[in-house]
């Protein structure tokens, strides 16, 4: 009975930015828990490769190639999918980007891209999907935050701002939509070996610092995010709403 709480069989999950990195790992993990998966990305070629990989493992995979920073295109894509294929029961808002520059020199165009990719996309996809979830009285939304939701580092102030905003938008989603049967929560990864962090992973000095700074003493593996995502996507979290769960090896709670 207890394990059945985590079973996602019969559910369909949309994961944005899921052709690589954390998004792909979460898509694979939710698929292994029984969910049908809707992969999303802007690059149709990369999306197709990711879908082929998961299909070869025996999973049911759909592809939704849409730029989630485009409000109208996102709304049309979600509405079209719901009408033609079926319900999206779980949404994981994972699409994101990073740009590293000292704040005094931070380019305005990079700042705008961060706003659109890291914050606006969560609003666009969240609203488009939630409108359908509300009508059914059920839905799970997991917004990917960051250890930078709680902490800052030099050179990424605008990124830190965006991830703080995602956590607060998550609270707003829960406040507005819990009465309709939705659970909306955040998942905040610490430092994981992903394409987004390639510059840091390849910096021996930073890696040495990180291992000393993190109580667990190492980088995270993306597969270690899957369990928390399954929990937040399943009946096991039926009364969890508006919170952000940090999966960071303890870095956010230690000095």
180: tokens are: 């309709």
Q: Enter the tokens of residue 187.
A: 């998942």
Please check whether residue 143 is in contact with residue 185, taking contact to mean a CB–CB distance below 8 angstroms.
yes
Q: How many helices (H) and strands (E) does the chain have?
A: 9, 7
Of 181, 177, 183, whose CA–CA distance to 141 is shortest?
183
131 Cβ neighbours under 8 A, 6+ residues apart: none
Which of 159, 192, 219, 246 is catalytic? The answer is: 159
CA geometry: angle 212, 210, 248, nearest 5 deg = 105
Pairing relation of β-strands 36-40 and 61-64?
parallel
Q: Which of 54, 41, 230, 39 is nearest to 142 (CA)?
A: 230
Residues 6+ apart with CB under 8 A from 123: 169
Q: What are phi and psi of 146, to 5 degrees?
A: -170, 160
191 is catalytic: no
Alpha-carbon distance of 142 to 129, in angstroms, equals 12
Three-class SS state of 2: coil
Tokens for 32? 């292994």
Residues taking part in catalysis: 159
């Amino acid at each position: 009975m207890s394990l059945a709480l985590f079973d996602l069989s019969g559910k369909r999950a949309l994961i944005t930015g899921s052709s690589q990195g954390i998004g792909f790992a979460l898509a694979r993990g939710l698929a292994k828990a029984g969910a049908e998966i809707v992969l999303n990305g802007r690059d149709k070629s990369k999306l197709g490769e990711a879908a082929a990989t998961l299909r070869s493992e025996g999973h049911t995979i759909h592809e939704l190639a849409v730029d989630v920073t485009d409000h109208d295109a996102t709304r049309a894509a979600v509405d079209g999918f719901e009408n033609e294929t079926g319900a999206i029961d779980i949404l994981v808002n994972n699409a994101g980007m990073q740009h590293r520059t000292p704040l005094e020199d931070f380019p305005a165009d990079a700042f705008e891209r961060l706003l659109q990719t890291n914050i606006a996309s969560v609003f666009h996809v969240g609203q488009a999907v939630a409108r359908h979830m509300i009508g059914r009285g059920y839905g799970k939304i997991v917004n990917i935050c960051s250890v930078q939701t709680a902490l800052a580092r030099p050179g990424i102030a605008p990124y830190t701002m965006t991830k703080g905003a995602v956590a607060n938008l998550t609270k707003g989603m829960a406040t507005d939509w819990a009465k309709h049967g939705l659970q909306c929560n955040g998942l905040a990864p610490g430092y994981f070996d992903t394409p987004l962090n390639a510059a840091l992973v390849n910096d021996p000095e930073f890696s040495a610092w990180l291992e000393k700074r993190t109580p667990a003493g190492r980088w995270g593996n993306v597969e270690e995010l899957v369990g928390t995502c399954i929990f937040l996507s399943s009946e096991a979290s039926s009364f969890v709403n508006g919170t952000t769960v940090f999966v960071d090896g303890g870095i956010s709670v230690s000095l």
